[in-house]
Amino acid sequence: MVVYEATVYTGDRIQATTLNSVHIKLVGTDGESDRTWLKSLVIFRGSVSTYTVSCPNSLGRLLLIELDKRQFGFLPDDAWFPDKVEIKSPEEDVYTFPIHCWISDQETHRYREGKALRIFDESHSLGQYARQQELSQRSLEYDWEFYGPGIPYTIKADGAMTLPDEVQFSFTKTTEFAFTAATGLAELRLKGLVDNQENWKTLDDINGVFRNKDTPLSDYVQEHWAEDWLFAYQFLNGVNPTLIRRCKTLPENFPVTDDMVFIPDGSNLLNELERGNIYLCDYKNLDGMPANIINEKQQYLTAPLVLLHKRSDDKLMPIAIQLKQTPAEDNPIFLPTDSAYDWLTAKIFVRSADFSEHQLNAHLLRTHLLAEVFAVSLLRNLPMVHPIYKLLIPHTRYTLQINELARERLIGPAGVFTLFAASGREALPKILARSLSSITYRSLCIPDDIADRDLQDLPNFYYRDDGLQLWSIIFKYVQRVIKYYYKSDDEVQRDSELQTWIGDIFKHGFLSQLQTGIPQNFTTVSELIKFATMVMFTCSCQHAAVNSGQYDYGGWMPNTPATLQRAPPTKKGTTSKSTILETLPPINVTAQGMATVWLLSRRSSDFVSLGDYPEYHYTEETPRQLQTDFKSDLDKLSIMINNRNKDLEIPYTYLDPKNVENSVAI
Ligand code: FE2
């Protein structure tokens, strides 16, 4: 008889304790143990308990363990959250089995030993079998669902609560999320705003909404929103830094002439175009999109063009705005020299177009939906023991569930966005499909994206500065981990699971559209490194950049109106204070929008910041050390960003690594 020591680590989290009886079976190269009861009436959260498993003979090298739990007598059935199990063999070898997920059913669950293995490293038939079994089980649990023509596939599920336990929110997050949503709405209901379809009488009245929920920046935005420099600043460091590009030649459909615009210091438009001081934001993605009907009223959504000038004092300022794509007499080019109301109205139309472009393209499609594709594809195609699974799984935390919730509560038939945004209902799937058809791999990789938009030297562009630093820190970490596991291009080519993984992403995420430039397979180690860097960057940094400032910049509604109620002016001199109030969203739409951006900008108490790996998927020393190095690089960057921010009028905090969440989780 030989004895194995099994040490069980239970997660220290709410409701992780189990009153059920837990059984374990050890499987090794030379045999398996009996299914053995871990003799405890209760396994407490945060506990570390050691049990014995006896076998007639040694089991050889341990490959996997099986765990199951059963309801015990009259005690209630419950869920248990084991972190890991360590087994000490009679030969004194220690094997670690990472788990880090809920077990709430009575099924048998298999967990592989922690050392990362590629498919061709599996030397034992049992390991190969377990690998196949795991993937076929997962491909049933994580299936694709067609969401709409031209739109990435999503996870197949009947709502957020039906997803497998391992990808669900923790108890803490579920209760907090429900609480925050309820308190925001309760406050609005108390003030009788949700049912009030009237227009605002004055801008000051809007101030009363969410009075106690302001952030320092939302206060600042309220004070300065109508100023040109803040309008321009937001294209660099607001919630949508993805649109602006340098303009060397004016687009044909934007006939701004020299005599229209005022360029200080005796220069003119032509000179400034040549010198590279002119920038363009073009909302052509929204052209021709049918605007929503809200409160039984037709709404308006335009596809503006904005021209900006970088002055010699490095300030970026808007110099011309055309609200529709086709130049015409009834589509004037608005200028800062027009009446104050004309110019402000033009800027409001741009900010409202930006709301739709930002939420649907920059935020929903390019972070949430892509992160979901990466998550589903990872779960379907790579087993837990695969080194790339271990690398990327922390960056998929809560993504499937938050997206299911978004489909139920935001963009579903009764969702807030569907009902209250200009681009809700009919336009929504059209904008998503158009956005996907123009997405490129290069635009998802910030060094390429900045180069393509020719923005390398634009001053005061903190999204770019911090984003590029983050990219290079992530790249370094990913490169070191991947090079530890893949010594040659040949190993990448031979890894059939990796090839299926990327093929699945190309097909279900990018709908096999070749012009995206997304790889269909990997032929080199460097291709794999770049792609994995892009996945990590998109799920963490890019999402933080487009998500975290939603209340800062959207909390003061006139700065980011979700919809507009009047058509854009067709000639100059027709606007006034009252036309602006008639154009802005009515009271109920404002209230819904502000409650939503408040909820989506909150940080939950179980927030995991970039580079924190509380769950140890890697058990080997080298990748664990690389994670420590990665974290220390991020800490250094955080200090640099904080120092820089001390001198800024508006500190740029969204890409401070401490504020970046590991995954798309809100
Ligand atoms: Fe988000």
Q: What is the CATH number of the domain that holds 16?
A: 2.60.60.20
Same-domain pairing of 163 and 81? no
Distance 411 CA to ligand 1 centre (A): 13
Residue 254 has pLDDT above 60, yes or no: yes
Residue 345 has pLDDT above 60, yes or no: yes
Distance 664 CA to ligand 1 centre (A): 6
pLDDT at res. 662: 97
Q: Average pLDDT in the 237-250 region?
A: 98
Residue 182 has pLDDT above 80, yes or no: no
The dihedral sign for the CA sequence 280, 281, 285, 290: negative
Q: Average pLDDT in the 1-27 region?
A: 93
Token representation of residue 614:
């509380």
Distance 424 CA to ligand 1 centre (A): 17
Same-domain pairing of 466 and 519? yes
Distance 416 CA to ligand 1 centre (A): 15
Return the minimum-mean-pLDDT range out of 74-83, 134-143, 148-157, 512-521.
Answer: 74-83
Q: Which amino acid is at 514?
A: L
Distance 167 CA to ligand 1 centre (A): 17
pLDDT at res. 189: 61
Confidence of residue 454 (pLDDT cuts 50, 70, 90): very high
Distance 104 CA to ligand 1 centre (A): 28
Distance 176 CA to ligand 1 centre (A): 16
Distance 366 CA to ligand 1 centre (A): 10
Distance 17 CA to ligand 1 centre (A): 31
Residue 82 has pLDDT above 70, yes or no: yes
Residue 245 has pLDDT above 60, yes or no: yes
Distance 15 CA to ligand 1 centre (A): 27
Confidence of residue 213 (pLDDT cuts 50, 70, 90): low
Residue 441 has pLDDT above 70, yes or no: yes
Confidence of residue 252 (pLDDT cuts 50, 70, 90): very high
CA distance 533 to 479: 8
Residue 160 has pLDDT above 90, yes or no: no
Same-domain pairing of 511 and 622? yes
Residue 103 has pLDDT above 80, yes or no: yes
Residue 190 has pLDDT above 60, yes or no: no
pLDDT at res. 419: 94
Distance 398 CA to ligand 1 centre (A): 11
Cβ atoms of residues 109 and 68 within 8 Å: yes
**H or E element, residue 630:** helix 621-646
Strand partners, 550: none
User: How many domains, the chain?
Assistant: 2
In a domain, 235, yes or no: yes
pLDDT at res. 264: 87
Distance 663 CA to ligand 1 centre (A): 10
Return the minimum-mean-pLDDT range out of 175-189, 336-350, 646-660.
Answer: 175-189
Same-domain pairing of 484 and 633? yes
Distance 406 CA to ligand 1 centre (A): 9
Per-residue pLDDT of 263-299, as tens digits, reads 988 899 999 999 999 999 999 999 999 999 999 999 9
pLDDT at res. 315: 96
Per-residue pLDDT of 482-500, as tens digits, reads 999 999 999 999 999 999 9
SS (H, E, C) 64-117: EEEEEEECCCCCCCCCECEEEEEEECCCCCEEEEECCCCECCCCCEEEECCCCC
Distance 137 CA to ligand 1 centre (A): 29
Confidence of residue 13 (pLDDT cuts 50, 70, 90): confident
Distance 547 CA to ligand 1 centre (A): 5
Distance 601 CA to ligand 1 centre (A): 8
CA distance 470 to 476: 10
Same-domain pairing of 76 and 182? no
- Residue 78: name the closest of 24, 18, 21 by CA: 18
Single residue among 98, 114, 130 that ends a domain in this structure:
114
Cβ atoms of residues 20 and 69 within 8 Å: yes
pLDDT at res. 165: 78
- Residue 331: name the closest of 321, 322, 342, 319 by CA: 322
Greater model confidence, 265 or 479:
479
Distance 572 CA to ligand 1 centre (A): 38
pLDDT at res. 81: 92
Distance 430 CA to ligand 1 centre (A): 20
Q: Average pLDDT in the 308-321 region?
A: 97
Distance 666 CA to ligand 1 centre (A): 5
Distance 545 CA to ligand 1 centre (A): 10
Same-domain pairing of 194 and 80? no
Residue 187 has pLDDT above 80, yes or no: no
In a domain, 121, yes or no: no
Distance 600 CA to ligand 1 centre (A): 7
Mean pLDDT of the chain: 94
Single residue among 114, 130, 162 that ends a domain in this structure:
114
Q: Average pLDDT in the 159-183 region?
A: 73
Q: Which range marks the domain in which residue 82 is found? A: 2-114
CA distance 89 to 666: 43
Distance 177 CA to ligand 1 centre (A): 14
Residue 185 has pLDDT above 70, yes or no: no
In a domain, 354, yes or no: no
Same-domain pairing of 620 and 565? yes
Distance 239 CA to ligand 1 centre (A): 11
Distance 368 CA to ligand 1 centre (A): 6
In a domain, 132, yes or no: no
Neighbours of 652 (CB within 10 A): 22
Same-domain pairing of 47 and 148? no
Distance 123 CA to ligand 1 centre (A): 42
Distance 543 CA to ligand 1 centre (A): 6
Kindly report the CATH number assigned to the domain that includes residue 237. Answer: 1.20.245.10
In a domain, 553, yes or no: yes
Q: Average pLDDT in the 241-247 region?
A: 98
Distance 546 CA to ligand 1 centre (A): 7
Distance 286 CA to ligand 1 centre (A): 21
Distance 389 CA to ligand 1 centre (A): 23
Q: Average pLDDT in the 559-578 region?
A: 98
pLDDT at res. 193: 83
Distance 407 CA to ligand 1 centre (A): 12
Per-residue pLDDT of 141-157, as tens digits, reads 999 999 999 999 999 99
Q: Average pLDDT in the 558-562 region?
A: 97
Confidence of residue 208 (pLDDT cuts 50, 70, 90): confident
Distance 320 CA to ligand 1 centre (A): 31
Cβ atoms of residues 336 and 318 within 8 Å: yes
Backbone dihedral region for residue 96 (phi beyond 0: left; psi -120 to 50: alpha; all else: beta): beta
Same-domain pairing of 366 and 499? yes
Distance 334 CA to ligand 1 centre (A): 33
Residue 396 has pLDDT above 80, yes or no: yes
Single residue among 114, 131, 160 that ends a domain in this structure:
114
Q: How far is CA 512 from CA 26, 503, 517, 518, in A?
A: 43, 9, 10, 9
In a domain, 41, yes or no: yes
pLDDT at res. 409: 87
pLDDT at res. 615: 92
Confidence of residue 207 (pLDDT cuts 50, 70, 90): confident
Q: Average pLDDT in the 135-141 region?
A: 94
In a domain, 292, yes or no: no
In a domain, 247, yes or no: yes
Confidence of residue 183 (pLDDT cuts 50, 70, 90): low
Same-domain pairing of 557 and 614? yes
Distance 283 CA to ligand 1 centre (A): 21
Distance 608 CA to ligand 1 centre (A): 15
Same-domain pairing of 110 and 145? no
CA-CA-CA-CA dihedral for 407, 408, 411, 413, to nearest 10:
130
Nearest-10 crossing angle of helices 462-485, 525-537:
140
Distance 655 CA to ligand 1 centre (A): 14
Confidence of residue 262 (pLDDT cuts 50, 70, 90): confident
Same-domain pairing of 68 and 190? no
Distance 162 CA to ligand 1 centre (A): 21
Distance 394 CA to ligand 1 centre (A): 17
Distance 597 CA to ligand 1 centre (A): 10
Overall pTM > 0.85: yes
Backbone dihedral region for residue 224 (phi beyond 0: left; psi -120 to 50: alpha; all else: beta): alpha
Distance 602 CA to ligand 1 centre (A): 10
